[in-house]
Copies of this chain bind each other. A is one copy, B any other.
Amino acid sequence: MYSFKNDYSEGAHPRILNALLATNAEQAEGYGEDPFTLRAAELLKQRIGRRDIDIHLLSGGTQTNLTALSAFLRPYEAVVSAATGHILVHETGAIEATGHKVIAVDVNDGKLRPEHIQAAVDAHTDEHMVKPRLVYISNPTEIGSIYCKAELGQLSQVCRANRLFLYVDGARLGSALCSDENDLSLSDLADLVDAFYIGGTKNGALIGEALVISRDTLKEDFRFHLKQRGALLAKGRVLGLQFVELFKDELYFDLARHANKMAGLLRNGVARAGYSFLTHSPTNQIFPILPNELIEKLQKRYSFYVWSKIDADRSAIRLVTSWATQEEAVRQLVEDLRG
C-alpha cells in the first residue's frame, strides 16, 4: 500500500537528520536564541533580499496561523478568508478560539479576488459589526491553485487601500513557488503582503514553519505571543537547524520541484488515461475525477482521500506528492489508472 494521502507521510529529508546528528552534542541557548535559528533567519533574509523583516520559527501551520492572526488583530477585528480556507475548515476553530470572527467568502477555485475583499469591507459598516482587518489567503490554495504576481499585486492594493493586512498561509509555499505556472518570488511576497509563512513540515522538514513579518507594526513583542501560545520550543535549535539545511542552498526548492514533478507525471497520466480534474492545480495536489469502480480498485494498492462526489458513478480523489514520493510508485499508479 503506497500513500498519496498527503505530503507529511514520511520523516525528514536525510540531510536534515544528518544535520541534527552532526550538531547534537553542541550546547546551545534555548527558545530560539541558538546560533542555528539565528543563521536560519539570516539565510532567509538573504534569500528574500530584505533585512527589515522578522523571522520566527514555529512547529506547525495551525499554531502559526493562530499565533500570528491573534497577535495582529484587536478584539473586534475580523479575518476575511475563502470559505475553503484552511483556517475556516480544518483548524477546529483555532482563530475563533482566540476571539476573532473569520468571514467566509464563497469562491470557485480557492482564490480570493479584490472584489470579494471589497464586498466584505463594504458589508461591514459600523460598530454593530466586526471590522474586517486581515485578509487570509493560502498559496497554493487548499485545492492546489496558485496566485500569480499580478493577482497578488491586486489583492495587496485593495488591502492597502482599505487598511487591511494581507497574510499568506504558505503550508505548501515551496510547491507554489516551484510550479511551472508561478511568477512570484519570495521577495515579491515580502513586498506585497504583511506576513506569510514558509512551510517546512510539508516540504522535507520534520516539523517547522518560518513566519516572515514584513510590516513593521506587526513585529513588536512577537516573542511574547509565541510564548503565550505555547509556540516557543525550548530546543528551538531543532527548528533552526532544519531551516538552515533547507535554505543554505537550493534544498527547499529542489524538494518542492521533485514533488511538483511527481504531480506532473500523475497529471499527465490521468489526462492520457482520459480523465478530467476537479480543479486546475499546477502544484503537488491534484484532484482527478474517476469512475467509482476504478477508485475502489486503486484503493487496494494506494491510500488517498476521496474528495467529493461528482455524480452517481464518479468521484474526485485527491492525490498528493511530496519530496519523498518515489517515481516508481507514480509510474505504477499511472499504469494502474490505465489498466
CB-based nearest B residue for A63: B230
Copies of this polypeptide in the complex: 4
Distance in angstroms between the alpha carbons of A62 and B226 in the assembled complex: 11
Q: A223 an interface residue at 8 Å Cβ cutoff?
A: yes
Contact indicator A67/B230 (Cβ below 8 Å): yes
**A98: B residues at CB distance < 8 A:** 75, 99
**A93: B residues at CB distance < 8 A:** 76, 78, 99-101, 130, 228
CB-based nearest B residue for A70: B75
Q: A127 an interface residue at 8 Å Cβ cutoff?
A: yes
5 further A-B pairs in the complex, CB-CB below 8 A; given A10-B24, A96-B100, A97-B229: A63-B231, A76-B97, A92-B129, A98-B99, A127-B224
Near B by CB (< 8 A), chain A positions 197-226 give 201-202, 206-207, 221, 223-226
Given contacts A25-B11, A202-B234, A206-B238, contact A127 B227 (CB under 8 A): yes
Give the residue of B99, B131, B221, B228 whose beta carbon is less than 8 angstroms from that of A91: B228
Contact indicator B30/A6 (Cβ below 8 Å): yes
Q: A104 an interface residue at 8 Å Cβ cutoff?
A: yes
Q: Which of A96, A230, A237 lies at the interface centre, i.e. has the most chain B CB atoms within 10 A of its CB? A: A230
Q: In the A-B complex, list the 4 residue pairs whose CB atoms are closest, starting with the nearest.
A: A63-B230, A11-B24, A76-B224, A93-B101
Q: A312 an interface residue at 8 Å Cβ cutoff?
A: no
Q: A84 an interface residue at 8 Å Cβ cutoff?
A: no
Q: A14 an interface residue at 8 Å Cβ cutoff?
A: yes
Interface segment, one of A15-23, A245-253, A276-284, A289-297: A15-23
User: Interface residues of A, CB < 8 Å — how many?
Assistant: 76
CB distance from A33 to the nearest CB of B (A): 10
User: What mask results when residues 1 to 45 of chain A are scored 1 for a CB within 8 Å of chain B, else 0?
Assistant: 011001011111010010011011111111100000000000000
Distance in angstroms between the alpha carbons of A102 and B324 in the assembled complex: 39
**A23: B residues at CB distance < 8 A:** 11
28 A-B pairs (CB sep. < 8 Å): A9-B27, A9-B28, A9-B29, A10-B24, A11-B23, A11-B24, A11-B26, A14-B24, A17-B17, A20-B20, A63-B230, A64-B230, A65-B230, A71-B75, A74-B221, A75-B228, A90-B128, A92-B127, A92-B128, A94-B230, A96-B130, A97-B99, A97-B229, A98-B99, A130-B224, A207-B207, A207-B233, A207-B235
